[in-house]
Amino acid sequence: YRLAPLPWKVLLIALLPLALDGGTHAINDALTGVLSAGGFRDTNQWLAWLTANAWPGFYAGDHFGTFNWWARLITGALAAWGIAFTVFPILAQLFQEEAISATRQQVRAE
């Protein structure tokens, strides 16, 4: 059984959340400074507003259980899945072709 690589569009869709998460953090740091802890992705006040501040400990910071922690975990896992299921089948095919080629060369040499 051979697994086909993911289509490039699916890979891009899997990478998009990671790019958005990382991109918004980069914009935040560029606007407020890396050590300020006062930007829109440090406090996540926009999310507190959207959820009527239902979970006060969830919004700020990047420690275990916060929004930033969950966003990084989920987007990273999704990106890793997309990359793995795109690259590994391609590598498996290349390795198989190389093994066949090496076997043929060995048979010819004997």
pLDDT in tens, 25-60: 899 989 988 777 788 888 999 999 999 999 999 999
- Residue 58's pLDDT is 94
SS (H, E, C) the chain: CCCCCCCHHHHHHHHHHHHHHHHHHHHHHHHHCCCCCCCHHHHCHHHHHHCCCCCHHHHCCCCCCCHHHHHHHHHHHHHHHHHHHHHHHHHHHHHHHHHHHHHHHHHHHC
Domain count, the chain: 1
Mean pLDDT of the chain: 92
pTM of the model: 0.79
- Domain range for 62 is 8-109
Within-domain flag for 1: no
Within-domain flag for 70: yes
Within-domain flag for 2: no
